[in-house]
Each structure stands twice: as structure tokens, then as C-alpha cells.
Amino acid sequence: MARSSGRSGRTGTGAKGRARLRRAAVATAALAVAAPLTLAASGDAGAAETAWAAGMRSIVFARYDTAAPVEDLYTISPLGGTPVQLTHTPTVSDVMPSWSPDRKRVAFLRYGSDGAIDGIWTMAITGGDLKPVPGTQGASDPAWSPDGTRIAYSKPVGSEREIYVTDLDGSPNTRLTTTAEDEYHPTWSPDGGQLAYSRTDGAGHSRLMRIQLSTLAQTPVTLAGFQDWTPDWSRGNQIAFSRVDSTGFTHLFAVLPDGSGIHRITSARANDKSPSWSPDGRRLVFTRGGTDDADPEHLFVVRGDGTALLQLTKTDSHDLEADWRP
């Protein structure tokens, strides 16, 4: 399966739409080359992190490498160690996983280079009992609702992408946004009454938006003119996201739903993207690296204040789109 530089595109079914959604997910990672990293965790601090992580739940993510360029899903402990492979699909890719709130299933995007399989599926955490979600062909970015009854996602409508929500049986398949811009990566508020997502304009800028499901009223969260991607809404009511800042690198930020309190979490000369909050809302797992296929992408964990950085994966692979088990 062909790949463009920096994982900025996909080929196969809906090549234009797939390339656009990947550009939004990685947010111009090809702008810079990551510098060597220094990891924190030693002595008393390391013991504290070990004690914390021992009580936390596993992380699911997608992985590929140059030797096997088809993605599969894996899980890993928040302490790191050897990942456990969930899917084994040599002819199709499994990406963008999302845990169900009851921790029993995972929703994900499955697609094939020949177009034979495309859409959102769910599976048991052991990797079996696969079920397609009807009406989600061409979709991306599945996100399970807090009550476990619905999945939100991004889906193409003509040349644009809009936000939808559906029950697990595919009905009703409800369109929430109607704009001339592209909407990606929905994430649910803790009470299930709102979604945050990223909106991309024709100039390539992206900002965070939120929508009230009862009225469909849409409100900006971040300002126009930035490149803000992949939001994740915590149970503590903060929204983490990736932003390309003035240094040309992609860093993690957090903001309150009303747009106040914005602050930067990471600041290394590296590309940090796709954050996911821990169940207690205190830490984030994210991907670092990935300027091109020769530059590995690894999973890291960091506190919400940017301290206690811990590298989880270290193989010569691309580890993407992690989601922390509720």
C-alpha cells in the first residue's frame, strides 16, 4: 500500500478523502525533523510513575512498519513493555481505534487498498467478534459516546467531510454539520451532550469547534488562523489537541470548552500529535515523530502539565492514534 511522505495520505478507496483526513490527523508533520529525546523517569520520580501506571488501564493503538506496511491494532500497558497484537490483517489496514465505555469492545476504521473493505467496525478486546457499522463507508475518526450507545465519526459528503452520529446498528445515521469546510475527529463531552471536532478551511488552517447535540448550535473553541487538530475531551472537562506553532513543530495544547485557559503541554523540537487522556484526566498518551516513513513514530505518556515524560514504544515502527481504555 503506497504512502506519502510523513503519513500525510492514504491510497485506495476514496484516495482524495483518505489523503485529506490523514493530513488533518498528522498536521504537517513533514515540516521539521525531530531532535534526539531525553526521557524523564528515574529514582523516586520513576517509582511514583510505576505505582501510578500499575493501576491504569491499557492503551490501544495502530502500528505499521516499512517491512509490513499494513496497519494492525495493538494494546500496551501505560508502563510500556511488549505490545499485544489484536488484529492480523495482511490485506487490509485497521486504524483509528476507540474504546467502548464498558471497556469490552473497540471501534476502528478498516480499509483495503483494493476497496473491498472500508468503514467502521467494532470488535471484542480479544480481536474477535467483528461487526461492521452499517452506513459508514468512507468514514473515519470513530468516537464512542459516553453511554456506549452511539458512535460519532467524520464522513465525506461530496467533496467535503461532515460529522455524523449513529447507533451501533447504523440507524439512524444522523448528519450533524453542514458546511463548505471539512470536519474531522469528533470527541464527546463527558455528559454526552456535545461534541468537539476540528474544522479545516480552504487555506489549510484548522480550528476546534464544538456542537450542542440538542440544538446543533456550533461554537468556536480556538481561534481561526491556526492548525489545531485531533481534539480529545477529558472527564475533567479539558480538551487536549495538537497545534503547529511558530517553531514549525506540532505540540500538544489544552483548552477549556469555552476557549479559555489555553496552554501548551509539550515543547520539544519534535512533532507531537493525537493526544488521548487517561481515565483520571491527569495524563496523556500521544505520538511523537514521523517526518516521513524513515522516521519512526513512538508512543509517549506525559502529565497534563508537561512533566514526567515516559516513552512507551521503542521499535522501528510507526505507532499511531492511541486511545486510553476508560
Q: Cell triple for residue 101?
A: 465505555
Predicted pLDDT at 48: 56
Q: Please state the pTM of the whole predicted model.
A: 0.84
pLDDT digits (tens, 9 = 90+) for 9-34: 333 334 333 433 443 343 333 322 23
Closest CA to 37 of 314, 270, 317: 270
Predicted pLDDT at 212: 97
Predicted pLDDT at 295: 82
Predicted pLDDT at 127: 84
Phi-psi sector, 127: left (phi>0), alpha (psi -120 to 50), beta: left
DSSP 125-177: TTS-S-EE-TT-TT-EEEEE-TTSSEEEEEEEETTEEEEEEEETTS-SEEE--
Predicted pLDDT at 293: 60
Closest CA to 78 of 257, 239, 253, 285: 285
Name the phi and psi angles at 30, rounded to 5.
Answer: -80, 5
List the chain domain ranges.
Answer: 24-324
In this structure, how many other beta carbons lie within 10 angstroms of the beta carbon of residue 216? 12
Quote the mean pLDDT of the chain. Answer: 84
At the second CATH level, the architecture of 24-324 is 6 Propeller (2.120)
CB 189 within 8 A of CB 221: no
Q: Mean pLDDT of successive 10-residue segments in the chain (326 residues)?
A: 31 36 36 31 49 71 87 94 92 95 95 83 91 93 96 94 93 92 96 97 92 97 95 96 91 97 94 96 93 82 95 94 95
